[in-house]
Amino acid sequence: MLWDWGYALEILPVLAKAAIVTIEATFLGFLIAASLGLVFAIMRMSGPLVAGPVTLLVELVRSTPLLIQIFFLYFVLPKFGVTLDAFTAGVLALGLHYATYCSEVYRAGLENIPRGQWEASTALNLSSFTTFKDIILPQAIPPIVPALGNYLVALFKETPLLSAIAVLELMQTAKILGSETFRYVEPITLVGVIFLIMSLVSAVGIRWVERALNRRTAR
Amino acid sequence: MNSSDATPMVRFENVTKRYGSLTVIDGLDLSIGRGEKVAMIGPSGSGKTTVLRMLMTLERIDGGVIWVDGERLTHVERNGRLVPADTNHLRRVRGKIGMVFQHFNLFPHMTALKNCMEAPVTVLGMKKREAEERAAELLAMVGLADKKDHFPSQLSGGQQQRVAIARACAMRPKVMLFDEVTSALDPELVGEVLNVIRKLGAEHDLTMLMVTHQMGFAKEFADRISFFHRGKIEEDGKPADIFGNPKNERTRQFLHAVLDAG
């Protein structure tokens, strides 16, 4: 028999546990991506002394495979005295990688704010911090939520790469189960289905956030 | 009367502004007294708006010094030498200046009331409740008491511009700059905005600088008219003299052109 329901049910709790690791990696990674991305975007808007190096870093990260970056953080950094456990290294790599994509999205959002908004802020003597926090970001973020949401889902779907450094997320767990029993059909299929369900759920979630933001901002 | 009454509220001292090789303001000297209402007129590209933008620190100047209320805005003295002012200095001095823009530049994600509260709360450190009371008063002054919870997109152009005036007033500036504030409005909405400016001028001891194409309003409202041409003031005087008996040939040509068109 190709599909063994008994075995599938037996491994489901193990995979569910691994799914939690996947979700944790996704959210922590995206938290880093979203905040670091904003920092990159703002730094790229300031003087060339700051913008230059940041642009270089962003291009470097964007132009190299995520898997290499994961390996770099996990296997190469210890040579420089920085030892990270697999989960931390993986999450940092995911976060950094997607931060560079997010920074492009933020940049587009920030550039879309009319100059008049900055000028009115200057005329009212708002500090740069207040201008960003109260005037620019609340206008820049809502339109880019869909794009950021896409990267959340993309990041989520890249988490199996963490299996390469033996983080016990879904994919790694499925591989271990498979190698123990020589049955790969059930674990791998279930992992696929779990990813599918979670992707669909998050897509709905993102659309909900989008609508909520539009209700607040569009009139 | 104290001695400071003699100091001009705003003074441009040999101010120059260039965009690349184009000189838009050419060694401008201009003094504006306390409470004085000056209308700047002239053909487009003559530098009037740039004068306001330099004063609001939206444009850096390439030469000269701007003074506000008896102190330098653009420069500070350090070891006996004048150096360009840092952000802290700019923020302190430009707090005396408010500006109303051609395209209103209201914050679209805030209600009229919130637009008028943002700066008093975050810059002046005013309590929310006090800022709200004052914002409501100011909106009432511009005739929009019933629109305080509306967002800018729910208001007409004239109403938006009146909110923008209230918002600028909330910072209690000593100098108000009006940059073609009726140019983006439908003709039937111009009057309500000009009325608010008239009221502001009558009730408050504000120094006002305006760039305008409303010659009738300039003539009636301003104490003084400055005619700009190619980055320089060609003629400057009382409205009656400028409009009634312009001495400068260019002023004459300009007034002919705009008054004939109107």
pLDDT digits (tens, 9 = 90+) for A5-43: 999 999 999 999 999 999 999 999 999 999 999 999 999
Closest chain B residue by Cα to residue A124: B119
For all residues of chain B together, what is the average pLDDT?
A: 94
- Assess B83–A contact: CB distance below 8 Å, yes or no: no
- Shortest distance, CA A130 to any CA of chain B (angstroms): 7
Model pLDDT for residues B75-93, shown as the tens digit of each residue: 999 999 999 999 999 999 9
**Cross-chain Cβ contact A116/B97 below 8 Å:** no
Q: State residue A219's pLDDT score.
A: 47
The whole-angstrom separation of Cα A174 and Cα A159 is 13
pLDDT, one tens digit per residue, over B90-109 is 999 999 999 999 999 999 99
Q: How confident is the model at residue B120 (pLDDT cuts 50, 70, 90)?
A: very high
How much is the average pLDDT of B48-60?
96
- Is A2 a residue whose pLDDT tops 50? yes
Q: Read off the pLDDT of residues B145-154 as tens digits, 9 standing for 90 and up.
A: 999 999 999 9
Position B262 confidence tier, pLDDT thresholds 50, 70, 90: low
Residue B217 has pLDDT above 70, yes or no: yes
Q: What was the pLDDT predicted at A93?
A: 96
Q: Would you state the pLDDT for residue A212?
A: 86
CB pair distance less than 8 Å for A219 and B56:
no
pLDDT(B1) > 50: no
Q: Is the pLDDT of residue B2 over 50?
A: no
Which pLDDT value is given to residue A1? 67
Phi/psi class of residue A159: alpha, beta or left (left: φ > 0; alpha: ψ in -120 to 50)? alpha
Please report residues of B whose CB lies closer than 8 A to that of A136: none
